[in-house]
């Protein structure tokens, strides 16, 4: 059952977080649905611009509609990840998306507000909710000064102002994370004090954490042992920190890279172990099972495991705009 993102946030706020996972193909979709059913967890499916053009946006939509039929028990929302204005409007018009993200965080504050405001107006008219972004998601850069680094984090006072002016429904905040497989080295990590300060300015307002993959070191080691050349040592977000962040208002935790690592490990090991094999379904089956297992573990860390029936009970009494 496709529900609104707002319904999921309302149920989760302050208690647990919803995993938001990117998908590009049928195998990822199968693993995602199987894992969440096994964990009895609600979830968000993220579709990026890149995913929409990888095969065809209609292909992804068809896969998701099919999954909704194959897994009638599942409760999920469909979200556009890192959209520009044009793609947001397209997704809003399509009637298929529960929510869209407008990413104008690289524009100056006023411009970010103006673009987000336009998307919010179009979205709310169609019952779709909007995630916006404020601040700069950082990289590993060890040599950057602490003051300089903190300046890239979302400013709590600006966040309050931004939400009031733009009318967005959730806010992606820069709280120390970055996208990809190389997030933290040395003693870096999540800035809990910043999340807390933002929550104090925006009580009850859903916050979103991008760049939340944990980049398991054993996964990286297995990929490299099977011929990969990923940089070892750089870590992701400690999955044990998902729940403490959720308690501070982080409702949505974006995970893409970790799924790509599962895919890479499965396929590298598979073809190393079975060089005579050329049936794409053989590693595909292993990947679906391994990805489902990964999703179960994330749901447990997020605290979303076991919430499915409670969400279903609340879904009847629809909550909030979209
Ligand atoms: O934050 C970006 C997501 O990991 C999606 O990546 O744009 O390569 O599909 P993508
Ligand atoms: P990761 O690269 O940490 O998986 O982050 C994904 C993300 O933020 C998608 O929007
Ligand atoms: Zn992101």
pLDDT tens, position by position, 246-267: 999 999 999 999 999 999 999 9
Q: Please give the Cα distance from 203 to 60 (Å, whole number).
A: 36
- The pLDDT value recorded for residue 322 is 38
| C-alpha span between 110 and 157 (Å, rounded) | 15
Task: Tell whether the model's pLDDT for residue 21 goes beyond 70.
Answer: yes
Four-residue CA torsion sign, 209, 252, 201, 14: negative
pLDDT tens digit sequence for 180-190: 998 887 677 89
Percentage of the chain modeled with pLDDT above 70: 93
Query: d(Cα 237, Cα 137) in Å, to the nearest integer?
Result: 13
Categorize the per-residue pLDDT at 127 as very low, low, confident or very high, splitting at 50, 70 and 90. very high
CA nearest to 246, candidates 162, 313, 303: 303
Per-residue pLDDT at 320 exceeds 80: no
Q: Return the structure tokens found at 144.
A: 């950057």
Q: How far is 228 from 114, CA to CA, in rounded Å?
A: 44
Whether domain 5-318 has CATH 3.30.420.40: the reply is no
For 34, the 3-state DSSP assignment is helix
pLDDT value for 189 = 84
Rounded to two decimals, the pTM is: 0.95
Which residues belong to the active site?
A: 81
Pocket test for ligand 1, best of 174, 177, 178, 256 (most atoms within 8 A of CB): 256
Which residue shows structure tokens 């190389």? 182
Q: Which residue from 206, 204, 123, 125 is spatially nearest to 170, judged by alpha carbons?
A: 206
Note the pLDDT tens digit of each residue in 140-170: 445 555 555 666 899 999 999 999 999 999 9
Pocket test for ligand 1, best of 45, 46, 47, 81 (most atoms within 8 A of CB): 81
What average pLDDT does range 228-240 have in this prediction?
92
* In the chain, where the domains are located: 5-318
Q: Does ligand 2 have an atom closer than 6 angstroms to the CB of 167?
A: no
d(CA 177, CA 150): 12
């Amino acid at each position: 059952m496709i529900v609104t993102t707002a319904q999921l946030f309302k149920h989760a706020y302050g208690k647990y977080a919803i995993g938001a996972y990117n998908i590009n193909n049928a195998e990822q979709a199968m693993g995602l649905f199987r894992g969440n059913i096994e964990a009895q967890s609600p979830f968000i499916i993220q579709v990026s611009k890149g995913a929409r053009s990888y095969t065809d946006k209609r292909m992804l939509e068809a896969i998701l509609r099919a999954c909704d039929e194959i897994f009638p028990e599942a409760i999920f929302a469909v979200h556009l990840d890192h959209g520009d204005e044009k793609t947001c409007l397209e997704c809003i018009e399509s009637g298929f998306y529960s929510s869209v993200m407008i990413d104008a965080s690289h524009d100056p504050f006023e411009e970010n507000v103006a673009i987000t405001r336009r998307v919010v107006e179009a979205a709310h008219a169609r019952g779709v909710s909007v995630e916006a972004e404020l601040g700069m998601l950082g990289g590993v850069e060890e040599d950057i000064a602490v003051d300089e680094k903190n300046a890239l984090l979302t400013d709590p006072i600006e966040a309050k102002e931004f939400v009031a002016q733009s009318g967005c429904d959730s806010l992606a905040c820069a709280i120390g994370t970055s996208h990809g497989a190389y997030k933290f080295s040395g003693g870096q990590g999540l800035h809990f004090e910043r999340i807390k300060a933002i929550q104090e300015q925006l009580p009850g307002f859903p916050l979103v954490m991008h760049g939340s993959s944990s980049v398991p070191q054993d996964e990286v080691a297995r990929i490299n042992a099977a011929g990969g050349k990923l940089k070892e040592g750089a870590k992701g977000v400690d999955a044990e920190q998902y729940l403490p962040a959720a308690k501070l208002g982080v409702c949505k935790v974006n995970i893409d890279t970790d799924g790509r690592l599962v895919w890479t490990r499965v396929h590298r090991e598979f073809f190393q172990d079975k060089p005579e094999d050329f049936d794409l379904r053989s590693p595909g089956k292993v990947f679906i099972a391994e990805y489902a297992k990964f999703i179960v573990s994330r749901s447990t860390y997020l605290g979303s495991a076991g919430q499915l029936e409670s969400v279903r009970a609340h879904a009847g009494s629809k909550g909030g705009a979209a």
